[in-house]
Each structure stands twice: as C-alpha cells, then as structure tokens.
Structure 1
C-alpha cells in the first residue's frame, strides 16, 4: 500500500504556510508603525486556508489560464491580505497601525504556528513509528 505524504500532512503543511504568511504581514505592519499613510493589512485565515486546501494556484490574484503558461510554484496568502479596519482614532498622519493590537496578533499567531508545527511533527513521528514496526 502506497503512502501518500501529501494527503497525510496537507492540512498541517497548509496551516504552517498560512501562519508564516500571516507573520510576514504582521511584521510588515509593525515595521511601518511610524510610516505616514501606511495602512495596516491582515490575512483572513479561514479564507486563506480554504484556498490553500483547494490547492488552487493563486498568487496575489494571478492564475494560470492556459496549459502553456509557466506553472506557479508558490501558493502564498500574502497577496490576499486586506486592509485592516482601524480600532484607534486617526492620529493625523493617515497611519492605521495599532502597535498593541499588532503585537497581540503576532503573539497569538506565533503560538498557533508553534501548535501547527507540533501537529505536523506528530504526524511524522506517527509515520516513523508505523514504518519502524512500533519500536
């Protein structure tokens, strides 16, 4: 019986990839906290996960529409980042980054990323155990 690694770890791998993309967007928001006119962005996790699980080749709105097109190799959710609605009053410079909120999002996403890695690690440990005969 053939083992399909993609089927076995696809959910957890996709989760780690989307969490990584979220971390990049949050980091970008924090890095631009003092940039006038910068608008904070966020990735809708549920939407990004559904796209990742469908396996669609969609990078920032780009899609292959013909069989002769060069295949897209990266399935990043960063292109799907939307502007975040600000919870704080306008400071006058047009920047919508709430540093405290971004820090909280960064910590929350980091913990969820670590949990996703642990689930992925558990899958591999289980497979290794099954292949070695349970020893």
Structure 2
C-alpha cells in the first residue's frame, strides 16, 4: 500500500514538473538536426528551417494533453490521424502527450498514439509506416 501511494505521488510530481518546464515560449529543433527549427511556412505547412526560429507554446488543454501553438501566427500544429500525414498549421486543435527524458522531448498524438517526427523534405510528420530513427522522434526545446 505504501509503495503504490509513493509511486502515485512521484507520478503526480513528475506531471507537475513537466507542466512547469513548459511554461513560456520555446523554439523547437529536431535532435537529428539541431540547426533547423520548427516553423510555419507561408503555405501553412510545418517545416524545419535554418531561418529565424519561431516561438511555440505548450498549453495543457486536458490532463497531460497539450495543444502546441505558434506564438507568431496563433495557429496550432494539426496533423490529421493517419500515418505519414504531413503536419500543418490550423485553427483546429490537436492534442499531444509530451514525453520528457534526458535526450529531449517527444510529442505523441493523444488520440492515435502516433509520434511526431522530422520527416522527409524537412516536414513535421505524424507517425510513419517506415519507422524513423530515434533521433528523428526527439525534439530539443529552448526557452526564448
């Protein structure tokens, strides 16, 4: 009984610590290419670019589920629900679970459990029928 109570307390603290770490605005880069930053391009696609990074905010919409918003355009990352969907910028909110470990952050679609990855053509992609190397699934957040 004590062990499960302690474990529950640790999980609660971990969740709170994650929420605190996500306060503010961040740039987002793929660990696979840290010189390219997540950016909404002029066509509404979400890409990785070496140009001036844009800020992103992470807002907890439900317990442990976040909407990811571009702080320049106020659009949300929206990827659809199928593997290999290219993510775009939209007024439509899609929720993601965010996993934090020593290597960085991973974003997983809250409904379909598909991870976001740095995909072909420098696009942000939902899941993949051809699994990406681990470094393409992990992102580095830098507070602005």
- What TM-score results when the alignment is normalised by the length of structure 2? 0.26
Which structure shows the higher strand fraction? 2
- What TM-score results when the alignment is normalised by the length of structure 1? 0.27
Larger RCO (CA under 8 A, 6+ residues apart): 1
Which structure shows the higher helix fraction? 1
Which structure would you say has the larger Rg? 1
